[in-house]
Amino acid sequence: MTTTDIKRHAIGASHGLVCACGLLVAITIGCDVPVAPPPKSGAPPEPKYVDLDSEEGQRLQEAREAQTRQAATELAPATSTVEDDTPDANREIVKAKPGAGKWKPYKPGFLTTPLNAYFSSKERISHLQIEDGLRKFHALQGRPPKDFAEADKAILQPARIRLPQLNPGDEYVFLPKQGQFGEFMIMRAEKK
């Protein structure tokens, strides 16, 4: 090694040391530890009490009663007998929900698990679309659809929603008085 090589090596090493020190100084400058702002007030805000005799109190009371009625409706059994406004009073009506149609899940397995996930998701999505369509129809019209034909024309056809297949003899019906926005139900075939 010659003296020129030693000088170059010393210059290169000192240059690297200067760069490293400069980078360390640049990183540490302005790296203050953030301080949380002091709390504005030690006490929580005062609660707002509504006088039940006032207009706001009456609206609050009505809203609570509506929630209670809706919860009672949702907790009602999904299976019921047919009421007078349905075509055939001798057939059982069941709420149209995912899994109530013709398709039933297969036993879990390497190929059947993805198939189960696909078909059950497909049914769940169609039911969510129907519920959303019923809410939108109610928001626009101020009432639920009158019957299955109106619900089909206003909700299912525009959104291209396909109802899940049913067992032979079963059919879909729409009950406008069921639930808040009306509900699609399945009228089961007569048992022999």
Residues 6+ apart with CB under 8 A from 1: none
Whether 10 has a pLDDT exceeding 70, the answer reads no
Q: What residue spans define the domains of the chain?
A: 90-187
Mean pLDDT of 76-99: 58
The region that residue 182 occupies, defined by phi over 0 for left and psi between -120 and 50 for alpha, beta otherwise, is left
Q: Where does the pLDDT of residue 82 fall: very low under 50, low under 70, confident under 90, or very high at 90 and above?
A: very low
Separation of alpha carbons 86 and 100, rounded Å? 19
Provide the pLDDT for residue 2. Answer: 64
Token pair of 155 as six digits: 């909700």
Q: Where does the pLDDT of residue 134 fall: very low under 50, low under 70, confident under 90, or very high at 90 and above?
A: very high
Identify which has the larger pLDDT, 163 or 191: 163
Distances from the Cα of 57 to the Cαs of 51, 61, 65, 118, 187, in angstroms? 6, 6, 12, 48, 43
Provide the pLDDT for residue 78. Answer: 40
Separation of alpha carbons 152 and 114, rounded Å? 31
